[in-house]
Amino acid sequence: MAKQVTHSIEYGGITLPALVHSEASVRYAQQSFQVRDGDVFNLTYPKSGTTWMQEILTLIHSNGDPTLSRLVPSWERVPWIEQNTAAEYLENRPCPRLITSHLPPTVFPESFFSSQAKAIYTIRNPKDVCVSLYYYAKMASFLDYKEDFGEFIEMFCAGKILFGSWFDHVKAWLAYRDRANFLLLTYDELIKDLRGSVLRICQFLGKDLDASAVDSVVENASFETMKGNKMVNYSLVPEDIMNQNVSPFFRKGRTNRGISGDWRNHFTPEQNATFHDLYHQKMKDVGIKFPWDEPQSEIHQKL
Ligand code: A3P
């Protein structure tokens, strides 16, 4: 199915949708935006749990009170630093400012690297990212879409995609993981143990929430609550930009709690083996075991 894709822009070797970015907005993020020590960054490659972390951070910041989450769109509460509206939302906001970004370190605000600002990097199984992005590209006017999933995987693996290669993004940010102001989380552990993950985030941020506040964060950041909250489910975005009749932003998992491992319903054994070979080649020096890692030999035995 042919789809009319809106324009994109290039900056520092990455491609971004022109709908909400400009060369000036990314240059502002990289060169002019002054990071403060009290800032908190939500960093992700797209489709890795960005919106989820926006909600979790909002709720932790408000000690579990969901009022703000229900009144203000997520993109205003925890705005993207690279988007056109960043200065308007962030310049006069008191700390701790909650800030989102898909930028790789190469074009990230320079003042971040000498600051005490905290950053949470959420990483998701790249095969699930690829599937999630496939459906997102189908429904969003600003993304390139290939109906043939095999072709889409090739595009994803080649990094010919908005915000560039998953491998480059992840590897570049993982280089900062030993810093005291950097927390690495996986989407998969958020799915497995949301409460435990919220407690880890609270500890990292130095936020001491009582048990009922933590319960409220968990309840209001659940898949079901977020899917029904128009301030976070993107239903405020016009249909010609995001058509949720084509695919909802919150796709329904088998458990209705979000999807971990949906790649199994999409990748053929051959596509899986090819992806794994690339994954192992690209990630062999990273030195971290992720929840989705499988021995290469087992993948090939399944062929
Ligand atoms: P799927 O497309 O697999 O459903 P991002 O916010 O980075 O664009 O990521 C979107 C993905 O995160 C979507 O994945 C969405 O369903 C999932 N997601 C968002 N909030 C979630 C939650 N509370 N629980 C589980 N998954 C969530």
Domains of the chain: 8-301 (3.40.50.300)
Q: Which residue's CA is the closest to the ligand 1 atom numbered 1? A: 132
**Which residue of 45, 143, 250 sits with most ligand 1 atoms within 8 Å of its CB, as the best mutation to test the pocket?**
250
Residue 214, SS3? helix
Say if residues 43 and 173 touch (Cβ distance below 8 Å): yes
Q: Which residue's CA is the closest to the ligand 1 atom numbered 23? A: 223
Note if 102 is an active site residue: yes
Query: Which of 169, 73, 55 is CA-nearest to residue 121?
Result: 169
Give strand ranges (E) for 127-272: 182-186
Q: Which residue's CA is the closest to the ligand 1 atom numbered 27? A: 258
Give strand ranges (E) for the chain: 8-11, 14-17, 40-44, 98-101, 118-123, 182-186
In one letter, which amino acid is 60?
A: I
d(CA 164, CA 160): 6
* pTM of the predicted structure, to 2 decimals: 0.95
Query: Tokens 């205003």 appear where?
Result: 76
Pairing of the two strands 118-123 and 98-101: unpaired
Structure tokens at 270: 């051959």
**pLDDT tens per residue across all 303 residues of the chain:** 556 566 899 999 999 999 999 999 999 999 999 999 999 999 999 999 999 999 999 999 999 999 999 999 999 999 999 999 999 999 999 999 999 999 999 999 999 999 999 999 999 999 999 999 999 999 999 888 889 999 999 999 999 999 999 999 999 999 999 999 999 999 999 999 999 999 999 999 999 999 999 999 999 999 999 999 999 999 999 999 999 999 999 997 545 556 788 999 999 999 999 999 999 999 999 999 999 997 766 666 666
Say if residues 137 and 118 touch (Cβ distance below 8 Å): no
Question: Cβ < 6 Å from ligand 1: which residues?
Answer: 44, 46-52, 132, 135, 221-223, 226, 250-251, 258-259, 262
Ligand 1 nearest-atom number relative to CA 191: 25
Residue 191 CB neighbours (<10 A): 21
Ligand 1 nearest-atom number relative to CA 44: 7
Q: Is the dihedral of CA 6, 9, 13, 14 positive or negative?
A: negative
Residue 148 CB neighbours (<10 A): 8
**Which residue of 47, 55, 201, 246 sits with most ligand 1 atoms within 8 Å of its CB, as the best mutation to test the pocket?**
47
Structure tokens at 87: 């200065």
